[in-house]
Chains A and B, each alone.
Chain A
Amino acid sequence: MSDPVPVSLTVNGVEHQLEVEPRRLLVHALRDDLGLTGTHVGCDTSNCGACTVHLDGKPVKSCTIFAVQAEGAEVTTVEGLGTESQLHAVQEAFWNDHGLQCGYCTPGMMMAAAGLLAENADPSEAEVRHALEGNLCRCTGYHNIVKAVLDAAKTKGPTIGAQS
């Protein structure tokens, strides 16, 4: 164990100063230090994508970067994607299209989807499937997830992206 070091980062629009071990993963800083438990951990090898958040607007797997690497960065988690009263188009579409079952992969899946739509407002089914390749779901067979992402693209058009 080595001595904690300071790190400052902005998460969902709120600035935080943390003292963390240099080896502390961003996902654990978010979950255990900031109490943002919507971001999940499903593997040890960066395969499942349950931990996907946005770092400066781009989807990243927060189990694959250290908290200290997020120094000065803007992080958006599922809690910052939308709220219960004002859902993000991706959240609304996942709900409408039954794009989730157990819900465990869902936050990461939605963050990956929002990341795709921010770059490509009108993706084809093949593009959606390719973009979600790094996010595993065991419940849905991806059918309704893909449908939801395509529907979210239709409802929001080119302005879609994570609201941070």
Chain B
Amino acid sequence: MSATAETPHVGRSLRRKEDPRLITGRARYIDDIVLPGTLWAAIVRSPEAHATIVSIDGSAALARDGIHAFYTSEDMSDLGGPLPLAWAPPGVEVQNPEHWPLARGTVNHVGDPVAVVLGDDRYAVVDAAEDVIVEYDPLPAITDPEAALAGAPFVHESLGTNKVHEWSLAGGDLEAGFAEAEVTLERRIVNHRIAGAPIEPRGVLADYRAGAITLWTSTQVPHFVRLFTALLLGMSEERVRVIAPEVGGGFGAKLQVYGEEILSAWASRRTGRPVKWIETRTENMAVTHQGRDQIAQVKIGAKRDGTVTAFHVKILADLGAYNMLLTPLIPSLGAFVMGGCYKIPAVQTDITGVFTNKCPTDAIRGAGRPEATHMIELMMDQLAAELGIDRLELRRMNFIPPEDFPAAVATGVVYDSGNYAGSLDKLMEHVDMAEFRREQEELRAKGVHRGIGFSTYTEICGLAPSRITGPAGVGVGAGLWESAMVRVHNTGAVTVYTGTSPHGQGLETAFAQIVADKLGVDPQVVEVMHGDTATGPEGRGTYGSRSLANGGEAIARATDKVVAKAAKIVAHELEAAPEDIEVRGGKFSVKGSPDKGLTLAEVAGIAYIGAVPEGMEPGLEETMFNDPENFVFPFGAHACVVDVDADTGKVKVVRYVAVDDCGNPVNPMLIDGQVHGGIAFGIGQALYERIHYDEDGQLVTGTFVDYALPTAAELPSFETDRTVTPSPTNSMGVKGVGEAGTIAASAAVNNAVIDALRPLGVDFINMPLSPMRVWQAIEEAKG
């Protein structure tokens, strides 16, 4: 049975099915949902970075009009356990202090929650929360991760150490690699702390009634939230329904099981009323998990001819005050692709996690992989300069060649497909280096320092397969597969249930395109349902550029099952063999006789209303759990042109060109959109954004006034192009693209700034490339 539509929807830039509700203001985000009798929650948070809680007095708050309840951790002794860390790597000891929805005994970072006030009105509960008197006995604030590792004082006194864990991934003979090297370079590369900063902050609405709870929450992972809500509240899982409504961006910051989710659910059960908590931006900057924050000693070894022989990275990861869902795992995700696009015989990554009195880190767009790309790509430029080899030439001579794929690399993973030289060639079709150098010289004469930087990358994504991601592999306490259910209705309309949880990616459209082609229907009659644990099968959510390669593949294969059953029905009707049935021109017909055929509506009519062949179940609906054999490895080559004002240190991105390869495109418009946003995210980190704590552990960047997201005025329009190298990992040949832009961009920007500054004597500089830091580097180089 073949299922080739005559005018396929896959591969076309269909405008999004999601958009009508979004552009008319009729979408329903968490704060738009109103339930009768709702109590608003306001959380009292620690202004101290590290302190013992001496006393908490909520009497004045409770005395206010309209305030119904006040709770501290003492009231929550019925909780089944602390908040989860889902990473238990085999053979690795991880220090894991208890982390509760409301602090018990001590607070460990600014914003740590200590009490909650519930009342009728969103303004009144904020007033009441300010009346809560908390007495703190300050403890030393630990903010420097290197000092924290050295010894006392400790974030968690009872542990007697600030070290969270040590984890290494090594492949090849590192010692031999460096012995063989004729040149060895070392750099200290800092990848500073950033925020995910979705424009919609988080929020929860919990509604406990008659032994069951419905929890609306702005999340990327409704099924994980359901599981842990059930476990921590001691409820049976089927009594907990979690709904991710319209979600206003995630970027990893909503891949979490948060204390406020558990607290709201608990408080609704305790009060018997719906409880709503909506995060303010100020809370978001202080308590929604953050990302990156690594200091790395990076060492590369090469022969004089440019052949890289060894790469060794020692990462100190500042994980903040607690382990959250995946906190200590995140740096490890980068380790698998630490060698980048290159054939390096020996690659080793040693990670040490450390506690500090800061907000915990966890997955933020790219999660470990932007850090890895940043390191290898900065080092390739540094090495090129040292050896006097053109930096693109150096990359080309070390690229894994196309004929090596699938390519087993030193880190132990197998890159599924790639053509790195191909994407760099394509990039250079857009960049005229001779013209650039001429321009650069001209501008330099006018006092403008222009630079160009490059970054080539491959990333590991499509998070699955469970054999590697699960407990027996790297140790995530959940296999990462994905599910789908495809239901054809009586009329031939189709509802698809996905276990992924899209929040802006456009998957309702992309998934509909896939299904429509296979069933010979219009994507407009394919509705994609997601984000509700009460509908559809168990799922794993949206993160790690996994939704298309896993969730889309699950949908494709569930649809194949539907097509197979439909073919049997049609074959029976037309007295043909099922293998001779194809979908053509919107009909299931016998090959060679396209006129005589049945539409999906007619097939569904037989499946539900008419007579199915003897021995066949009625109905037309199939489920699929897809657990692929491997990850997918998108790749590409990016170029960034910057102008640096040497007098002020200000950097401006004047041009950005990206060539990305994410396998076969399902909807090119959506791919470009993901790449654009990813690039802006990477430029944001490189130039503007930094979560900054002072020495006392006070959060300096607590609002959007101080934490500078790039605006339209800072960024140029981007130039994007593609190469297409299908993945052998799934039937559609697709790879993820949600993180690609971010993974490539920071290195391209950083290398561009270094290129601009070389004539001024600056040959290395770390992010964030703020005017002050760039200006200082220029001044220091003057001596």
Q: How far is the CB of A138 from chain B (nearest CB, A)?
A: 5
In the assembled complex, the CB of B30 is this many whole angstroms from the nearest CB of chain A, namely 11
B24 pairs with A140, CB closer than 8 A: no
Measured in the bound complex, the distance between the Cα atoms of B691 and A113 in whole Å is 30
Which one of A21, A98, A138 contacts B123 once the chains associate, using CB atoms below 8 Å? A21
Q: Does A101 contact B (CB under 8 A)?
A: yes
Given A133-B713, A142-B712, A79-B25 contact (CB < 8 Å) = yes
**Inter-chain contacts of A107 with B (CB < 8 A):** 23, 25
* Interface positions of B from 713 to 759, Cβ below 8 Å from A: 713, 715, 717-718, 741
Give the shortest distance, in Å, between A1 (CB) and chain B (any CB). Answer: 6
* Chain A residues whose CB sits within 8 angstroms of the CB of B200 once the complex forms: 40, 42, 50, 102, 104
Q: Is the CB of B15 within 8 A of A95?
A: yes
Given contacts A47-B703, A100-B19, A137 and B199 within 8 Å (CB-CB): yes
Interface string of A49-90 (1 = CB under 8 A from B): 010000000000000000000000000011101111001000
- Say yes or no: B249 contacts A138, CB within 8 Å: yes
Q: Is the CB of A106 within 8 A of B677?
A: no
Q: Which residues of chain A come closer than 8 Å to B709, judged between CB atoms?
A: 136, 138
Among A40, A95, A143, which residue has its beta carbon within 8 angstroms of that of B20? Answer: A95
The residues in A between 125 and 147 inclusive whose CB is less than 8 angstroms from any CB of B are 125, 128-130, 132-147
Of the stretches B224-232, B467-475, B502-510, B614-622, the one at the interface is B502-510
The reply on B29 being an interface residue by CB < 8 A is yes
Task: Knowing A78-B24, A91-B24, A106-B22 are in contact, say whether A139-B713 is a contact too (CB < 8 A).
Answer: no
- Is residue B371 contacting chain A, with contact meaning CB distance below 8 A? no
Q: CB of A24 within 8 A of chain B?
A: yes
Q: Is the CB of A104 within 8 A of B29?
A: yes
User: What residue of chain A has the Cβ atom nearest to residue B741's Cβ?
Assistant: A141
Instruction: Give the shortest distance, in Å, between B560 (CB) and chain A (any CB).
Output: 29
- Is B124 located at the chain interface by the 8 A CB criterion? yes
What is the CA–CA distance of A101 and B677 in the complex, to the nearest angstrom?
A: 9
| CB atoms of A98 and B669 under 8 A apart | yes
Given A48-B199, A78-B25, A140-B677, A103 and B123 contact (CB-CB distance below 8 Å):
no
Residues in A neighbouring B670, C-beta threshold 8 A: 98
Partner of B23, one of A21, A43, A95: A95
Which residues on the A side are within 8 Å of B704 (C-beta)? 43, 45, 47-48, 136
Report the separation of the CA atoms of residues A130 and B26 in the bound assembly, to the nearest whole angstrom.
28
Chain A contacts for B249, CB-based, 8 A: 101-102, 104, 138-139
Inter-chain contact A102/B199, CB cutoff 8 Å: yes
Give the size category of B's interface with A.
35 or more
B246 within 8 A of A: yes
Q: Does B122 contact A (CB under 8 A)?
A: yes
DSSP class of A's interface residues: helix, strand, loop or mixed?
loop
A45, A133, A140: the one within 8 Å of B673 (CB): A140
The verdict on B432 contacting chain A, using a C-beta distance below 8 Å, is: no
Q: Does B201 contact A (CB under 8 A)?
A: yes
B767 interfacial by beta-carbon distance below 8 Å = no
Residue of B nearest to A107 (CB): B25
Taken together as a complex, chains A and B put the C-alpha atoms of A127 and B465 apart, in Å, by: 47
Partner of A96, one of B15, B26, B127, B198: B15
Smallest Cβ-Cβ distance to B196: which chain A residue:
A138
- A: number of interface residues (CB 8 Å): 62
Contact A38 B25, beta carbon cutoff 8 Å: yes
- Mark out the residues of chain B between 218 and 263 whose CB falls within 8 Å of any chain A CB in the assembled complex: 246-251
Indicate if the CB atoms of B673 and A144 lie closer than 8 Å. yes
**Contact between B673 and A40 (Cβ–Cβ < 8 Å)?**
no
Task: List the A residue with the shortest CB-CB distance to B673.
Answer: A98
Interface string of B479-522 (1 = CB under 8 A from A): 00000000000000000000000011110000000000000000
Interface flag for A44 (CB, 8 Å): yes
Contact B506 A101 (CB under 8 A): yes
Query: Which residues from B are CB-within-8-Å of A41?
Result: 31
Contact B199 A37 (CB under 8 A): no
Known contacts A38-B25, A141-B680; is-contact A104 B281 (Cβ 8 Å): no
Interface of B is mostly: loop
> Could you say which residues of chain A place their CB within 8 Å of the CB of B280?
44
Q: Which residues of A contact B506 (CB under 8 A)?
A: 98, 101
- Contact partner of B712 (CB less than 8 A), chosen from A39, A44, A129, is A129
CB-CB under 8 A from B13, the residues of chain A are 98
B715 contact from A134, A135, A141, Cβ within 8 A: A141
Q: Which residues of B contact A145 (CB under 8 A)?
A: 712
Q: Is B581 among interface residues, defined by CB-CB distance under 8 A?
A: no
Question: Complex formed: what's the CA distance from A28 to B121 in Å?
Answer: 12
Please determine whether B23 and A138 come into contact, CB atoms closer than 8 angstroms.
no
Whether the pair B124, A94 counts as a contact (CB closer than 8 A) is no
Q: Which of B198, B705, B717 contacts A138 (CB 8 A)?
A: B198
For residue A7, which residues in chain B have a CB less than 8 angstroms away from its CB?
A: none
Residue of A nearest to B23 (CB): A91
Partner of B19, one of A31, A48, A94, A136: A94
Q: Is B190 an interface residue (CB 8 A)?
A: no
Tell yes or no: B18 within 8 A of A by CB: yes
Q: Which residues of A contact B19 (CB under 8 A)?
A: 94-95, 100, 103
Contact B123 A24 (CB under 8 A): yes
Is B20 a contact partner of A146 (Cβ separation < 8 A)?
A: no
Cβ-closest chain A residue relative to B250? A102
Within 8 A of A (CB), among B519-546: none
> Nearest chain B CB to A16's CB is how many angstroms away?
17
B248 and A132 contact, CB distance less than 8 A = no
B76 within 8 A of A: no
Q: Which residues of B contact A137 (CB under 8 A)?
A: 199, 712
Chain B residues closer than 8 Å to A144, beta-carbon distance:
672-673, 676
CB distance A98 to B15 under 8 Å?
yes
* Chain B nearest Cβ from A139, distance in angstroms: 5
Find the residue from B13, B282, B717 having the highest chain A CB count within 10 A. B717
Contact status A104-B25, CB under 8 Å: no
7 A-B residue contacts at CB 8 Å? A48-B704, A91-B24, A95-B16, A102-B249, A137-B199, A141-B718, A142-B676
New contact pairs (5) apart from A48-B281, A102-B249, A102-B503, CB-CB < 8 Å: A37-B28, A44-B280, A45-B705, A47-B704, A142-B715
Return the 10 tightest CB-CB contacts between A and B, nearest first. A38-B25, A104-B248, A102-B504, A141-B680, A103-B22, A47-B704, A78-B25, A101-B504, A141-B676, A37-B32
Residues on B close to A: CB < 8 A? 13, 15-16, 18-20, 22-29, 31-32, 65, 122-124, 127, 197-201, 246-251, 280-282, 503-506, 669-670, 672-673, 676-681, 703-705, 709, 711-713, 715, 717-718, 741
